[in-house]
Amino acid sequence: MSAENAVAVLGAGNWGTTLAQLVAENGFDVRLWSRDPEQVREIEETRLNPRGMPGLVLSPRVRATAEFARAVRGAEVVLLVVPAQAMRQVARSLGDVLSPEQLVLHAAKGLELGTLARMSQVLAEETCAKRIGVIAGPNIAPEIAAGEPAGTVASSRFPEVVRCAKRLLTSNRFLVFGGTDVVGVELASALKNVVAIAAGMAHAMGMGENAMSLLVTRGLAEVTAIGSSFGARPATLSGLAGVGDLMVTCRSKHSRNHRIGEALARGESLEAAVARLGMVAEGVTTAVAARALAAERGLECPLLERVYSVLHEGLAPTEALEQLLRLRAGRDVAWS
C-alpha cells in the first residue's frame, strides 16, 4: 500500500482504537500509535487491543507502532485521539514531524487547564498545522465498535478537512455531518461532560424523568451561554455535538462522566471513582475549566458551578441539588 494515503491515529484508547477500525474498514491504511510498546506488541501479535477496546478484532490494515515519527511521517491525515490534558505534549512531538501538507483532525473532548485553550488552539500553537478539524458527537465507543449505527460531526474552517473526515469515516453504520463552527463543537463537546456528571449524580439519587430533563436542559442553557460568549453559533450547540452528545452522556451507562457522577452520589470519593473507572473522565478537569471560562465572561452558571464544588470542594451531591432547587428561576432561554 502506498504510504501517501495512510492515516495516522494517535492514541490507542477506547475511541482511538474504534476510529482506527472505522477508517481501516473504509479501505485506508492506518498507523495506530500508542506510547506503550507492550500494547503495540499485543495488537501486532493478536490483532486485539483488550485495554483499548476489548473484543474488537482489528482489521489487518491497522498497524500499531510505538514510534511517533514513523506513525506521522508521510501520513496524509493525522487523527489525534488523546486526553485533553495530554494534547499539548503530544502536539509538541507532533510539531517536530508534521509538515504543512498534512491535515489534522482531533477527537478530544476537553479544554486545557490553566490556559483554557481549546484543543484546536493547542494544535495551532504547537504545530505548523493550519488545516485542523474536530470530530465530536454522541459516540459511545463500545456501541460503535459493536457495529451499532451512530453519527458524528466533523467541523473545520477548511472544507477539505470536513470532506476528508467524511471520506475516512462514513459507512453504512456511521454518518458524518459537516460543519464550520469549530469553537462551537469544541466547547459543546467539552462542557457537556460536566453536565453529564450532574446527570449521573441525579440518576444515582433516583430522581425522576422530569427532574433529569430539568437538570440537563438547564445545563445545556449554561453551556450555550458560555459557548456563544466565545463565538460559538448557538445552532451548533443544538446539533449533534451539543444536544446530541448531551443526550447520550446524560443517559448512557457507558458514559464515563455519567459513571463518575453516579459513584460520587453513592458516596464514593472522587479518587476512588476515577481509579475504578480506569479511563480518563474529561468532565472532572473540564469542570475546573468551565468555571474559569464562566468567570472570565462574567456569566452565572449555577449548575456547572455546583458540579465543580462537588468534584473539587467536597460539597455533598444532595446539598448541591438542594442549592440548585432553591435558586430563583430566571428566563428559560436567552433573548436572541
Residues involved in catalysis: 192
Q: Which amino acid is at 49?
A: N
Q: Which amino acid is at 10?
A: L
CB of 59 to another protein, least distance (A): 14
DSSP β-ladder status, 30-33 and 7-10: parallel
Site string for another protein, 143-162 (x = CB under 8 A): --------------xxxx--
Neighbouring C-beta atoms of residue 144, cutoff 10 Å:
21
Return the range that interacts with another protein (CB under 8 A); candidates 36-44, 121-129, 184-192, 267-275: 121-129
According to CB under 8 A, which residues from 2 to 61 bind another protein?
2, 4-5, 7, 26-28
d(CA 220, CA 195): 8
Q: Which is nearer to another protein, 76 or 282 (CB)?
A: 76
CB 237 within 8 A of CB 220: yes
Q: Determine the size of the site formed for another protein (CB under 8 A).
A: 32
According to CB under 8 A, which residues from 166 to 185 bind another protein?
167-168
- The cell for 336 is 436572541
- 3-state secondary structure string, 47-66? CEECCCEEEEECCCCEEEEC
Binding residue for another protein, selected from 96, 300, 319, 322, defined by CB under 8 A: 96
69 binds another protein (CB under 8 A): no
Q: Which is nearer to another protein, 168 or 243 (CB)?
A: 168
Binding residue for another protein, selected from 24, 77, 80, 321, defined by CB under 8 A: 77
Binding residue for another protein, selected from 59, 65, 120, 127, defined by CB under 8 A: 127
d(CA 15, CA 94): 20
Neighbouring C-beta atoms of residue 2, cutoff 10 Å:
8
CB 39 within 8 A of CB 76: no
Return the range that interacts with another protein (CB under 8 A); candidates 33-41, 120-128, 233-241, 328-336: 120-128
CB 9 within 8 A of CB 31: yes
CB 24 within 8 A of CB 61: yes
Return the range that interacts with another protein (CB under 8 A); candidates 88-96, 147-155, 293-301, 303-311: 88-96
230 binds another protein (CB under 8 A): no
CB of 160 to another protein, least distance (A): 6
What DSSP character marks residue 131? S
Neighbouring C-beta atoms of residue 83, cutoff 10 Å:
17
- The cell for 28 is 485506508
Q: How far from 237 is each of 74, 93, 221, 227, 243, CA to CA, in Å?
A: 35, 32, 9, 8, 6
CB of 259 to another protein, least distance (A): 37
163 binds another protein (CB under 8 A): yes
Binding residue for another protein, selected from 100, 206, 278, 314, defined by CB under 8 A: 100
Q: Which is nearer to another protein, 95 or 302 (CB)?
A: 95
CB of 298 to another protein, least distance (A): 12
State the residues that interact with another protein by CB under 8 A.
Answer: 1-2, 4-5, 7, 26-28, 76-77, 92, 95-96, 99-102, 124-128, 130-131, 157-160, 163-164, 167-168
